[in-house]
């Protein structure tokens, strides 16, 4: 039998638990930003058609003394809601700059939250940090999700122009999820299109997904965009996305995200010399 009230009680219990979790994560995050050392970056290779490294996507990790290792999906949204994302973003950028300084051959792709982008000094604060450390912005690609474009397309267009003028590369991330509009692609002037991993997950079994991916890649090339296919998990996936014209690939088959020491050893061979 259905009991709507029971359902409601259970539902609010779920919400109460989620609120509690968010508060615990928020407090822990504030501590982590004060203390330093708990938050780190792992790197995953993005590989060209020749199999060589093009750049590495920088992905945040947090090892909390009380909560254990938390993936970004657990703490980025909390940081956004708690008003901590700008500070967290700066902290992460500092860590990435440390690695760029230490490894002259390293190029990175960085994830930026819509709220970070909204800060008026977003581009200039990044540029200032890079100048201080003598790091060339062309070594950095800024990945933005389409929510940025949908929420405020004027702001997004302005920021994209600023980033471009400052010498950064820009990528539209997770394309194919949410509101993906082909119109935005034309308007927005990104350098790179990243096709969401949900596509790669389907192409081996679905002719429709394959046709869509092929068309998307053609369309992107028509707009002078390079295409990264995410979620390449097998040799078969890799062969397929390459056959469809994908310029760059990323996924567990190529390598998993890992700390810089391991990454440098496996992917920055020039470092060894």
> Rule CB under 5 A: which residues touch Ca ion?
111, 143, 173-174
Select the binding partner of residue 113 from Ca ion, ligand C2E, none (C-beta < 5 to 8 A, by kind): ligand C2E
Distance CA 41, CA 241 (A): 28
Q: Judged by CB, which is closer to Ca ion: 122, or 175?
A: 175
Select the binding partner of residue 233 from ligand C2E, Ca ion, none (C-beta < 5 to 8 A, by kind): ligand C2E
Q: Are 175 and 194 in contact (CB under 8 A)?
A: yes
List C-alpha distances in Å: 146 to 114, 143, 185, 271: 9, 10, 10, 35
Task: Give the three-class secondary structure for 173.
Answer: strand
Continuous segment of H or E residues that includes residue 85: helix 85-102
Select the binding partner of residue 73 from Ca ion, ligand C2E, none (C-beta < 5 to 8 A, by kind): ligand C2E
Other beta carbons less than 10 A from residue 175's beta carbon: 26
Select the binding partner of residue 155 from Ca ion, ligand C2E, none (C-beta < 5 to 8 A, by kind): none
Q: Judged by CB, which is closer to Ca ion: 253, or 271?
A: 253
Question: At its nearest, how many Å lie between ligand C2E and the CB of residue 256?
Answer: 7
Binding site residues, ligand C2E, CB under 6 A: 44, 59-60, 71-73, 76, 92, 111-113, 173-174, 197, 231-233, 251-252, 257
Other beta carbons less than 10 A from residue 189's beta carbon: 15
Continuous segment of H or E residues that includes residue 79: helix 72-81
Q: Judged by CB, which is closer to ligand C2E: 7, or 71?
A: 71
Question: At its nearest, how many Å lie between ligand C2E and the CB of residue 54?
Answer: 15
Task: Give the three-class secondary structure for 68.
Answer: strand
Distance CA 144, CA 171 (A): 6
Select the binding partner of residue 271 from ligand C2E, Ca ion, none (C-beta < 5 to 8 A, by kind): none
DSSP state of 119: S
Select the binding partner of residue 252 from ligand C2E, Ca ion, none (C-beta < 5 to 8 A, by kind): ligand C2E
CA 63 from centroid of its chain's CA atoms? 19
Select the binding partner of residue 60 from Ca ion, ligand C2E, none (C-beta < 5 to 8 A, by kind): ligand C2E
Question: At its nearest, how many Å lie between ligand C2E and the CB of residue 249?
Answer: 10
Question: At its nearest, how many Å lie between ligand C2E and the CB of residue 72?
Answer: 3
CA 185 from centroid of its chain's CA atoms? 18
List C-alpha distances in Å: 47 to 70, 232, 242: 27, 11, 11
Question: At its nearest, how many Å lie between ligand C2E and the CB of residue 44?
Answer: 6
Taking CB atoms, the residue at the shortest distance from ligand C2E is 251
Question: At its nearest, how many Å lie between ligand C2E and the CB of residue 209?
Answer: 15
Q: Judged by CB, which is closer to Ca ion: 143, or 255?
A: 143
């Amino acid at each position: 039998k259905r009991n709507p009230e029971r359902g409601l009680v259970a539902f609010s219990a779920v919400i109460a638990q989620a609120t509690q979790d968010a508060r615990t994560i928020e407090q822990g995050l504030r501590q982590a930003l004060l203390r330093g050392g708990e938050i780190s970056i792992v790197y995953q290779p993005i590989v060209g058609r020749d199999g060589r490294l093009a750049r590495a996507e920088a992905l945040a990790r947090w090892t909390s003394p009380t909560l254990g290792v938390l993936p970004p999906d657990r703490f980025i949204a909390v940081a956004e809601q708690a008003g901590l994302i700008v500070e967290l973003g700066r902290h992460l950028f500092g860590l990435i700059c440390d690695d760029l300084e230490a490894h002259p051959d390293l190029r990175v792709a960085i994830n930026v939250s819509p709220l970070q982008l909204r800060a008026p000094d977003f581009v200039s604060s990044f540029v200032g940090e890079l100048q201080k450390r003598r790091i060339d912005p062309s070594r950095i690609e800024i990945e933005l999700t389409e929510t940025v474009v949908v929420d405020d397309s004027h702001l997004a267009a302005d920021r994209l122009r600023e980033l471009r003028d400052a010498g950064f590369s820009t990528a539209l991330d997770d394309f194919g999820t949410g509101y993906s509009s082909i119109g935005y692609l034309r308007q927005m002037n990104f350098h790179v299109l990243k096709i969401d991993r949900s596509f790669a997950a389907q192409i081996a079994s679905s002719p429709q997904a394959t046709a869509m991916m092929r068309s998307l890649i053609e369309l992107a090339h028509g707009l002078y965009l390079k295409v990264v296919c995410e979620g390449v998990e097998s040799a078969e996936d890799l062969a397929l996305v390459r056959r469809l014209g994908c310029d760059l690939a990323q996924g567990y088959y190529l390598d998993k995200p890992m700390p810089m020491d391991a990454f440098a050893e496996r992917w920055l061979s020039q470092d060894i010399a």
